[in-house]
Amino acid sequence: MSTTTEDRRAERNEALRRILEPELGEIDAKLEDVAARMDALREEREALRAERTDTVAMLRRIDPDNPAYAATMGRKPGQKAKPKPGDGRLVASMESQDKVEEWLRAHSDNGLESGFYAGGIMKHPAVGELGLSRATVQAALKNLAERGILRLDRMAVPEGSRGSAAHIYKLTS
């Protein structure tokens, strides 16, 4: 490609950038508005759900034999509720978080250089020193990352695993 063509392309890109920059700003602002509206709608949904629960409970007290008000939460009678995996919230105690942080620092040069995730930690030869379950380790990693002690390095399917991508963390400092 000749220099002239390159120059023309660079000029065209620059011109496009100048034209599109304000539009991108507007799109950004609109996206934020949409996100804010979604948050507001989520809150409204939660409030309506809470109201529905209260109303159904009240109706159940008035007419306890009515199957329409049975405590099935929209499920068919006899159908079991699906388990909620921790309601999506992973919380480890500060003690567990401190324990995991201490363990990570002690073994940072011992197979953890390229990052770590809960499943990998559970396979580490020194995992016995931790004495925590995989779920607790997973929650502790997430909480330590929220506190900035760990940083999310990448999302990748770990070697030898056929599962989905794991959050691979590293110590921040």
Q: Summarize as ranges the residues that interact with another protein (CB under 8 A).
A: 10, 13, 24, 35, 88-90, 142, 146, 148, 151-157, 164-165, 168, 172-173
By beta-carbon proximity to another protein, the closer residue of 111 and 153 is 153
User: Dihedral of CA 136/140/142/146: which sign?
Assistant: positive
User: Which DSSP string do the residues of 92-140 spell out, in sequence order?
Assistant: --HHHHHHHHHHHHHTTTTT-TT-B-HHHHHHSTTGGGT---HHHHHHH
Nearer to another protein by C-beta: 70 or 157?
Answer: 157
Nearer Cβ to another protein (22/77): 22
Q: Round to whole Å and give the CA distance between 36 and 45.
A: 14
- The two three-digit tokens of residue 113, written as one number: 């250089």
CB of 36 to another protein, least distance (A): 11
**Closest approach of Cβ 91 to another protein, in Å?**
11
CB 114: neighbour CB atoms within 10 A?
10
Q: Report the candidate in 167, 165, 161, 170 with the shortest Cα–Cα distance to residue 113.
A: 170
- Shortest distance, position 109 Cβ to another protein, whole Å: 16
Comparison of 23 and 65: residue with beta carbon closer to another protein: 23
Closer Cβ to another protein, 27 or 57, answer by number: 27
In angstroms, what is the minimal distance from the CB of 106 to another protein? 19
CA dihedral 45, 50, 84, 39 (to 10 degrees): 30
Q: How far is the CB of 125 from another protein (least distance, A)?
A: 25
